[in-house]
Amino acid sequence: MMTIHKEGRTLLFWLLLVLSVVNYLIYYFLPDERLLFNLALGGSILFYLIILQFFRNPIFEAPQEDGIVFAPADGKVVVIEEAEEGEYLKDKRRQVSIFMSPFNVHVNRSPIQGTVDYFQYHPGKYLVAWHPKSSTENERTSLVLRDAKGNTLMMRQIAGALAKRIKWYVTKGSALQQGEEFGFIKFGSRVDLYLPLDAEILCEIGQVTKGARTPIARLKG
């Protein structure tokens, strides 16, 4: 089942209104330009459908599996490496990064059940999402989740060249269920996960992910 995400409803309403008015004006004031009208109408429908698919929101029952870290977003795994997390966790972590193209679902979901220990928004640049410095220099949020066993992981929503707006629905102390929506990145970009070094990685580079459905790692603790 699919619905339209709340982040897109107002935009889609006004876009439909504007495109309808533009096409009506072409039809009314240029009655002899049938080719122009047909091109404008076809282009408007195509453009609207492209924007519409940006805001699709699949409805499903998320799996609940203790110890399993699920993908926080639809996309493709582009990074699996050891990295230093210097903002809050202050230690070495296993980083897994998921790139969200403009054609992916843009909803971000909690990979585990836990409590938000830390949340921070950072204004920044709009480098392309695969740029090495995008994780630390782009507009982004940082969110640290702690599960019932004390495991911690960080997620970063990272804006890119097209993504100009990050939305989030949590604060420090928020409790999240596994698979629960915590944010949205308009027009796609990237989500980084910083996992414990002893986590067993269950994904591979190039793998296509589905938010809250694709296993990313298994926690040891």
pLDDT digits (tens, 9 = 90+) for 17-36: 999 999 999 999 998 889 99
Architecture of domain 68-218: Distorted Sandwich (2.70)
Contact between residue 112 and residue 63 where contact means Cβ atoms under 8 Å apart: no
Quickly tell me which residue has 């989500």 as its tokens. Answer: 191
Mean pLDDT of all residues in the chain? 91
CA distance 131 to 78: 11
Tell me if 82 sits within 8 A of 94, measured CB to CB: yes
Identify the three-state secondary structure at position 123.
coil
d(CA 176, CA 179): 8
Could you say which of 44, 97, 110, 189 is catalytic? 189
Cα angle, residue 216 at apex, residues 215 and 221 outer, rounded to 5°: 100
Give 124's pLDDT tier (boundaries 50, 70, 90). confident
Tens of pLDDT, residue by residue over 73-89, are: 999 999 999 999 999 99
> What are the structure tokens assigned to 74, written together?
């639809």
Q: How confident is the model at residue 188 (pLDDT cuts 50, 70, 90)?
A: low
pTM, 2 dp: 0.88
Q: Is 189 a catalytic residue?
A: yes
